[in-house]
Amino acid sequence: VCPHIKSRCPVYPGSKIKRFSVPDDKVSWGQSWPQYSPVSYTDPSITKKPAWADLDVGAFSPKFNALDGKVDRTSFEGNYTVEKGKPLNPRGRTGVTGRGLLGRWGPNHAADPIVTRWKVDAKGKKISHPASKKPVLQFVSIKRKDCGEWAIPGGMVDPGELVSLTLQREFSEEALNSLAASPAERAKIHERITKLFKSPGFQVYKGYVDDPRNTDNAWMETVAVNFHDDEGSSVSELPLQAGDDAGQVRWVDVDSSLSLYASHSHFLEMVAKERHAHW
Ligand code: RP5
Ligand code: MG
Ligand code: MG
């Protein structure tokens, strides 16, 4: 496992909070480091107690490493340590304690739908990359409103929600703007993408995400699944429209030079390998 990098970004997102600088060799909790004195930070959006967020440690009794009512507090990374009532990031130190922008103590579960098609010319013929000679994949990418970075249109799994539903719901909200659609339009969107999302897809990744919002006590985990429109006849024909936390949306060529949010380019590399596409 490579040490997390974005989880140690110098300034915590959406704030002026500077993370305590953690060198690579001090990331692991196993390395004793008495001088480590991270700042505690929990964003005002969390301290004002929205329904989707946990209360402060001490103000409630979470069941860590377990399914806690409908809230899944298990980690794909195995059992995590809980120290003085607070879960410890399984990938090590981040330079910030508390929850930052994340609602849950411990794992915050998300799902990432990676919708792909082949890049084709005007005649519908697959376009190969001049360097690799391999066909080029395109994926539906959104520009996040929070940081301006391009990303997979993923989102949080609601308590009790099946991941398969989260994948389809988040794609509909962020890439098809279903939240702003009328009930009739929404039904149409649903009908047109259900076939692709009901296909098994290819599970690309399941586990920790190197997300800039991570802290020592709260972190992102995801299930990333690739749904491939091989014929270019299902989702490829739908008009994309950014919605919810997405500012823009478009089909983007899959290539190793992509600089994307969190560990998303790593997920796309795995999709390209699996589909024998250009990377
Ligand atoms: C990332 O944050 C995940 O990979 C997913 O794409 C995203 C979920 O958070 P929101 O988009 O809901 O902010 O870690
Ligand atoms: Mg969303
Ligand atoms: Mg999102």
ipTM summary value: 0.98
- Say what the pLDDT of residue 2 is: 73
Of 179, 173, 171, 175, which is closest to residue 201 (Cα–Cα)? Answer: 171
Minimal-distance CA residue to ligand 1 atom 10? 155
Residues 6 or more apart whose CB falls under 8 angstroms from that of 196 comprise 115, 227, 229, 234, 235
| Tokens 């259900």 sit on residue | 194
| Tokens 């009790």 sit on residue | 160
Regarding the beta carbon of 154 and ligand 1, being less than 6 Å apart is answered: yes
pLDDT at 1 over 90: no
Q: State the sign of the Cα–Cα–Cα–Cα dihedral 264, 266, 271, 272.
A: positive
pLDDT at 195 over 90: no
Distance in angstroms (rounded) separating the CA atoms of residues 279 and 273: 8
**Per-position DSSP letters for 104-148, written without gaps between them:** SSEEEEEEEEEEEEE-B-TTSPBPBPTTT-SBPEEEEEEEETTT-
Minimal-distance CA residue to ligand 1 atom 6? 154
Q: What atom of ligand 1 comes closest to residue 151's alpha carbon?
A: 6
Tell me how far the alpha carbon of residue 132 lies from the centroid of ligand 2, in angstroms: 34
Task: Give per-residue pLDDT as tens, 39-76.
Answer: 999 999 999 999 999 999 989 999 999 999 999 999 99
pLDDT at 225 over 70: yes
Tell me how far the alpha carbon of residue 167 lies from the centroid of ligand 1, in angstroms: 11
**Structural domains for the chain:** 110-211+223-274 (3.90.79.10)
Q: What integer is the mean pLDDT of 121-137?
A: 96
- Say what the pLDDT of residue 10 is: 97
User: Tokens in use for 35?
Assistant: 């001088």
Q: How much is the pTM?
A: 0.95
pLDDT at 235 over 80: yes
Regarding the beta carbon of 246 and ligand 1, being less than 6 Å apart is answered: no
